[in-house]
Amino acid sequence: MALSETEIQRQKEIQQAEELLFSGHQELGFAKGLFLGNFVADWAMPYPRLSSSQQAEVDRALTELRDFLDEHLDPEEIDRQADIPRHVIDGLGRVGVLGMTASKEVGGRGFSQMQYCKVLEEIGARCASTAVFTNAHHSIGIRALLLFGTKEQQEKWLPRLMNGDQLAAFALTEREAGSDAANVQMKATPTEDGSAYVLNGEKRYITNASIAQVLTVMARTPVPGKDKDAITAFLVTPDMEGFEMIEPRMAKLGIRGTATGRFRLNNVRVPKENILGPLGKGLRVALTVLDFGRTTFGACCTGAAKTCLRLAIEHANTRKQFNKTLGNFDLVKKKVARMAADVYAMEAMTQVTASLIDRGLEDYMIETAMLKVFTTERLWDAVNDCFQIHGGSAYFDDSPLGRILRDARINQIGEGSNEVLTSFIALVGMRGPGMEFKEIYDTMLKPWRPDRAKAWGAGLKRLSAAVKVPEVPVRSDRLKSYASQLARVVWRFNFAVDKALITYREPVMEMQLVQERIAIAAMELFATTCVLSRWDSELNDVGKNGEYGTDHTAADLFVRRSLRRTREALRDLGDNDDRALMKTADAILAGCNSTARNGA
Ligand SMILES: Cc1cc2nc3c(=O)[nH]c(=O)nc-3n(C[C@H](O)[C@H](O)[C@H](O)COP(=O)(O)OP(=O)(O)OC[C@H]3O[C@@H](n4cnc5c(N)ncnc54)[C@H](O)[C@@H]3O)c2cc1C
């Protein structure tokens, strides 16, 4: 029977996902554990801390960076001129920011991901353009070389990229390959003698494209021995013949200081030595690199949210109306409190996620996706609340809030739009229990299967998760009640995931509203875990406390609100307006609705 086009597309997507995500046995991470009803505490508790020598390195780096930024970084001017001045880039290179996580042998500082996040938080707190520039150069630009480059490639390319002498970019996006990253159309055809590839195609929306000397470019190559082609990563330099910069700086709404470019490759000959990572595994290279980018994204958003909180506090404490400062009004207090709670959580979640990378967890894709979605959404809320507290004054050009608002909007779109990542979190997470159910179903249909013992194992695991509330280990008596509430919600979450899989079976893969609720619950559970872990550590490890000292009202508020949001998301799985919502959207999109027609 011939398969429909949709079915062929779906099979293709499943095959790509399998290839990308599930390469053999892996240690159970925090997020995958959650979806299986396990609370894998070790990855988040106790709260990860830098060693004293690492902390000293970070302190030194931050002092040097702050001195430099105080003197040379003018975010308003960068926004007005739509350019980051060369002396700022050179200075960032001098203080080590552009090669911080590379090893000292190649000219880097050998910083861990946790250390680097502290540095990026500082830049994100001041200027989003500079933060995105740095992220594009370091967290995604040279990251591919650091992770996948051969010794020869690293020796050849890295040293000049470490100090900003040369800059890097990461080029995945094309007109037909935005959210659908696997749909890259740029072609790389091998030359007859096999010594090179000839690249043709166009890339757009690429940060640093016109200022970079080294670009990691994703292109489609034939794979020897297979009848399909696949994506491969290439190191391309703009001096190669046929490299055409179509738009060096696309005019844009926010992060205006960054050079976002569009370029075309016209028969560009790239030597095969410039292939980065295995042939045909470019998508894996891209997704792995983006994991790092999403972690530093979290740090940058935390920094920006801290700035919003500071500006909100300053204004609420000084601006008077009705003979009172604004901070006396409950509706203003509510906003400030929410921001403080979210900032506490954003920082904790960034720290824990970065530590997963440092500790060598193999697969942290769900956690980095959760961090990206959570921190970008919370930053947007913080910007909105801060803007509102500032009233009309926020609207004028002498306030930084206009720039901060314009800058923050890209975060929910770039490095994977939040919608795509939300579905990704739910689908990849549900795959674990889904596979266990599949074993059980398959054996029920064919009880004589030779590997039926696997189904017993799967059944026992599902049963045990259904009856056993996991343990959330905290040290402080004060947090025991929250820990047991969290444990019960983890148990309810597992129950809800199983119920969704049993009720909807395979079609759940298309049901984004169900996926969204499951992803929201998972993100909140991860966030609450990180907050409890941090809070517990601050209560117990006196002397190593975070800047919130002994006042944990923000942490307390976060845990309450987060547990409430999780319960709501799970409850809404069974009580919602989804049908009406979809019916309305279908009618509107089909042009049957007069309200939409009149608005046109
Ligand atoms: C300033 C800027 C800098 C950038 N820098 C880089 C860079 O350095 N390198 C690089 O490779 N790319 C870069 N990008 C590209 C960026 O990653 C893409 O814009 C992003 O992946 C979204 O793709 P798109 O813009 O084509 O949107 P589309 O894919 O057209 O999506 C539009 C919207 O549709 C919705 N949507 C799409 N798919 C789904 C789905 N499956 N389910 C539900 N909703 C969906 C989402 O709301 C999404 O926001 C940059 C973009 C910008 C704006």
**DSSP assignment letter at 47:** P
Average pLDDT in the 411-428 region? 96
What does the alpha-carbon distance between residue 140 and residue 119 come to, in Å, rounded to a whole number?
Answer: 16
Ligand 1 atom closest to the Cα of residue 180 is: 29
- Which protein residue's CA is at the shortest distance from atom 42 of ligand 1? 420
For residue range 516-554, list pLDDT tens digits in order: 999 999 999 999 999 999 999 999 876 554 444 568 999
SS3 state of residue 144: helix
* Per-residue model confidence (pLDDT) at position 545: 44
Written as six digits, the tokens of 155 are 């020796």
Number of neighbours of residue 556 by Cβ within 10 angstroms: 17
Task: Give the pocket of ligand 1 (CB within 6 Å).
Answer: 136, 170-173, 178-179, 205-207, 252, 255, 260, 410, 413-415, 417, 419-420, 423
Mean pLDDT of the chain: 92
Average pLDDT in the 287-312 region? 95
List of residues 6+ apart from 110 with CB closer than 8 A: 101, 102, 103, 104
Average pLDDT in the 181-203 region? 96
Cite the DSSP H helix spans in 391-541.
401-408, 418-445, 452-467, 480-504, 512-540
Least confident residue range of 12-16, 109-113, 212-216, 574-578? 12-16
Ligand 1 atom closest to the Cα of residue 181 is: 21
- Which protein residue's CA is at the shortest distance from atom 48 of ligand 1? 417
User: Catalytic: 27?
Assistant: no
Q: Are 343 and 302 in contact (CB under 8 A)?
A: yes
Q: How far is the CA of 156 from the centre of ligand 1 (A)?
A: 32
User: Using 50, 70 and 90 to split pLDDT, how confident is the model at 168?
Assistant: very high
Q: Of the residues 415, 436, 439, 524, which is catalytic? A: 415
Q: What is the pTM of this model?
A: 0.94
Number of neighbours of residue 530 by Cβ within 10 angstroms: 29
Ligand 1 atom closest to the Cα of residue 415 is: 17
Q: Is the pLDDT of residue 464 over 60?
A: yes
Q: Which of 44, 15, 20 is nearest to 30 (CA)?
A: 44
